[in-house]
Amino acid sequence: MEIPSLKIGAVTARFPIIQGGMAVNVSTAELASAVADEGGIGVIGATGMSMENLRKQMREARAATKGLLGLNVMVAAREFKESVLVALKEKVDVIIAGAGFSRDIFTLCKEWKTPVITMVASVKVARLSERLGASAVIVEGCDAGGHLGTEEHAADLLPAICEAVSIPVIAAGGFVDGSDVGRMLELGAAGVQMGTRFLLSDECTVHKNFKNLLLNAKASDLVRIMSPVGLPANAIRTPLVEKYFKEDSSIKPTSCDGCLKKCGRQFCILEALTAARNGDYERGLFFTGKRYVDIKTVEPVKKIFADLVADAQAYLDRVLDNGALVTS
């Protein structure tokens, strides 16, 4: 069995791999265009970008690749709709909405004839998404970085959601290699989304300190915090996180730009994620998927992608040899 392509609405990616849209200038044009060039869907993370910078990133990515480009944006962000409109005007191929649920996005994207992918963690929300017009859903489990909607693993959620909807179901959360891709396809997924694996690439423009922190961290360095967004998240234990657990008032924001529709104000998440992006270990919040310990090197996207495809194909070939492949 050849690795299938991934059809989302009217667009088709050669390979069923979506690069996670990591917010606050982690997933930018250079990374997204590199993934798109290899036949996946390259995604720019809109949240935390000014509209001017988002427009610039979209145009740079489009100029650099003929492949498929997506936008990932948090529904919880105050400028959610504005970000979506910028991307639509720049002819983005797909919109991915997470960290909340928006009904308005379906009407908006239908007007622009652009596919919508929603992040889901239950059969109920997957069915609702399909009914409202989603072209696909991403089932993100508890092993992902960033903001989580469930304490269950993607592999455990996947079968029931695949059975409940007729649109493509994409698995996300803690996947780092081609065997993960093959395993999710075996379980019925139409594709896989990966964030941390692509963060640890040459083309990801975060500071080298961020990459080195993940490469050198132990499994025991991973902690679960409650983000000011109001959702749990996986992160590396750092001085900021220690202060968070101690309820140290020194990290509470003294001013607020109102980047979120609702904010718990434990600390300023925009400042903390920006600090991480810039390599500031003391003040940064470093989100990561749980499997970062299985990634040993920073490599070019071309090599990462080639390895993913080769290993996924090898996995599927082994499964077929054993007569165990199931299809959705």
Report the pLDDT value the prediction gives residue 324, as an integer from 0 to 100.
58
Using the CB atoms, write b or e for 127-161: b if 16+ within 10 Å. ebbbebbbbbbbbbbbbbbbbbbbebbbbebbeeb
pLDDT tens-digit map of 147-160: 777 788 999 999 99
Report the pLDDT value the prediction gives residue 248, as an integer from 0 to 100.
84
Report the pLDDT averaged over residues 2-20. 95
Paired with 8 in beta bridges are: 11
CA distance 44 to 87: 10
Residue 318: Cβ within 10 Å count: 13
SS3 string, the chain, reads CCCCCEEECCEEECCCEEECCCCCCCCCHHHHHHHHHCCCEEEEECCCCCHHHHHHHHHHHHHHCCCEEEEEEECCECCHHHHHHHHHHCCCCEEEEECCCCCHHHHHHHHCCCCEEEEECCHHHHHHHHHHCCCEEEEECCCCCEECCCCCCHHHHHHHHHHHCCCCEEEECCCCCHHHHHHHHHCCCCEEEECHHHHCECCCCCCHHHHHHHHHCCHHHEEEEECCCCCEEEEECCHHHHHHHCCCHHHCCCCCCCCECCCCCCCCHHHHHHHHHCCCCCCCCCECCHHHHHCCCCECHHHHHHHHHHHHHHHHHHHHHCCCCCCC
Report the pLDDT value the prediction gives residue 182, as an integer from 0 to 100.
95
Locate the domains of the chain by residue range: 6-205+297-321, 208-292
pLDDT-derived band at 260 (thresholds 50, 70, 90) equals low
Show the tokens assigned to 230.
Answer: 């109001």
CA–CA–CA angle 26, 145, 56 (5° rounding)? 20
Report the pLDDT averaged over residues 29-56. 95
For the cut 70, the answer to whether the pLDDT of residue 136 exceeds it is: yes
**Residue 246 CB-density burial (10 A; 0-12 exposed, 13-18 middle, 19+ buried):** exposed
Per the prediction, the chain carries an average pLDDT of 90
For the cut 60, the answer to whether the pLDDT of residue 284 exceeds it is: yes
Report the pLDDT value the prediction gives residue 325, as an integer from 0 to 100.
58
CA distance 213 to 27: 18
Report the pLDDT value the prediction gives residue 328, as an integer from 0 to 100.
46
pLDDT-derived band at 198 (thresholds 50, 70, 90) equals very high
Task: Please give the model's pTM, rounded to 2 decimal places.
Answer: 0.91
Report the pLDDT value the prediction gives residue 323, as an integer from 0 to 100.
65
For the cut 50, the answer to whether the pLDDT of residue 265 exceeds it is: yes
pLDDT-derived band at 13 (thresholds 50, 70, 90) equals very high
* Architecture per CATH, 6-205+297-321: Alpha-Beta Barrel (3.20)
Report the pLDDT value the prediction gives residue 310, as an integer from 0 to 100.
96
CA distance 291 to 189: 20
Show the tokens assigned to 308.
Answer: 């993913």
CA distance 179 to 197: 13
pLDDT tens-digit map of 160-184: 999 999 999 999 999 999 999 999 9
Which of 40-44, 142-146, 215-219 is predicted with the least confidence, judged by mean pLDDT? 142-146
Report the pLDDT averaged over residues 86-91. 94
Report the pLDDT averaged over residues 214-219. 96
Sheet strand arrangement including 146-147: 146-147, 232-236, 222-226
Report the pLDDT value the prediction gives residue 19, as an integer from 0 to 100.
97
pLDDT-derived band at 259 (thresholds 50, 70, 90) equals low
For the cut 60, the answer to whether the pLDDT of residue 261 exceeds it is: no
Report the pLDDT value the prediction gives residue 145, as an integer from 0 to 100.
84
